[in-house]
Amino acid sequence: MEPLVILGRGGHGRELLELVLALNAEVPRYELLGFVDDAATGAPEEVHGYPVLGTRAWLAARSPAPLVALGVGVSAARARVVAALAPLGVRFPTLVHPRASVGRHVRMDEGVTVCDGAVVTTDVTLGAHAHVNVGASVSHDCVLGRFVSLAPGVRLAGNVRLGDGCDVGVAASAIPGVEVGEWSIVGGGAVLTASLPANVTAVGVPARVTRTRPPGWQLRTP
Ligand SMILES: CC(C)(COP(=O)(O)OP(=O)(O)OC[C@H]1O[C@@H](n2cnc3c(N)ncnc32)[C@H](O)[C@@H]1OP(=O)(O)O)[C@@H](O)C(=O)NCCC(=O)NCCS
């Protein structure tokens, strides 16, 4: 059993708890130590029976460090956390829910999570720390960059390419061949019928750009 902590005890972190428990119910694999959370007070606290161990300082003091499952749903925030943890040399598990369907010809890099009911078909690449939320589907030949987040129920047709850090909102969809530049945000329910540049927000049906950010915006804490 490999020791593992979940970073973040918010909704995303608690969903990862369910994912890890579902995996362990199939084959016991992870020794779940508890949650690490920067808002930990030091007072005894627990989440669904698992202790809140402390802040990232707790992690820094552990040698060797446990595996870290990132309970951080927003792409930009997830990237900032990974950058901050880099000096600790922590490793991130690739977690695929037992009820997700992932084809044999799918490449998944470190830290990828695929949640309950998601479908990833064939010849797909999921970059490091990409997150495929519940019930999302990713069809043939899609390429998702690092830190991409697909919210629940997103539908990507074949050959869709999402650059690093794209954050796609609940139930959004993309027709075949659409490309989205890095760190762009797609609103919930949007339908992508055409490609989008980097660093924009787009909403609606069909999706239209409503906002443009300066390159590198994701590095700054809001
Ligand atoms: C698009 C989104 C990211 C907000 O972006 P934003 O740039 O901060 O946009 P604002 O909230 O300032 O809204 C700007 C305009 O877009 C509209 N808008 C926002 N989200 C929209 C959406 N999903 N679809 C259609 N219009 C939307 C607003 O109503 C507003 O319109 P107005 O100017 O006529 O008043 C957010 O609304 C959204 O859709 N998030 C999805 C999050 C999600 O699915 N998370 C899943 C977590 S598991």
What DSSP line would sit under 145-177, residue for residue? -TT-EE-TT-EE-TT-EE-TT-EE-TT-EE-TT
The mean pLDDT of 93-112, rounded to a whole number, is 98
Residue 154 alpha carbon to ligand 1 centre in Å: 16
Binding-site positions for acetyl-CoA: 188
Alpha carbons 81 and 7: distance in angstroms, whole number:
9
Alpha carbons 192 and 194: distance in angstroms, whole number:
6
Alpha carbons 216 and 79: distance in angstroms, whole number:
12
Q: Under DSSP, is residue 79 helix (H, G, I), strand (E, B) or coil?
A: helix
Ligand 1 closest atom vs CA 201: 7
pLDDT of residue 40: 86
Ligand 1 closest atom vs CA 172: 44
- Give the confidence band of 98 by pLDDT, cuts at 50, 70, 90: very high
Alpha carbons 171 and 152: distance in angstroms, whole number:
6
Active site residues: 140
pLDDT of residue 145: 98
Reported as a single tens digit per residue, the pLDDT across 114-158 is 999 999 999 999 999 999 999 999 999 999 999 999 999 999 999
- Give the confidence band of 21 by pLDDT, cuts at 50, 70, 90: very high
The mean pLDDT of 13-41, rounded to a whole number, is 96
Over 80: is that where the pLDDT of 113 sits?
Answer: yes
Alpha carbons 59 and 16: distance in angstroms, whole number:
18
Residue 209 alpha carbon to ligand 1 centre in Å: 11
**Residue nearest (by alpha carbon) to ligand 1 atom 37:** 187
pLDDT of residue 41: 85
Domains detected in the chain: 2-88 (3.40.50.20), 95-208 (2.160.10.10)
Cβ of 168 less than 6 Å from ligand 1: no
Residue 171 alpha carbon to ligand 1 centre in Å: 13
Cβ of 151 less than 6 Å from ligand 1: yes
Contacts with 47 (C-beta within 8 Å, 6 or more apart), sequence order = 9, 13, 14, 17, 34, 35
Alpha carbons 113 and 96: distance in angstroms, whole number:
6
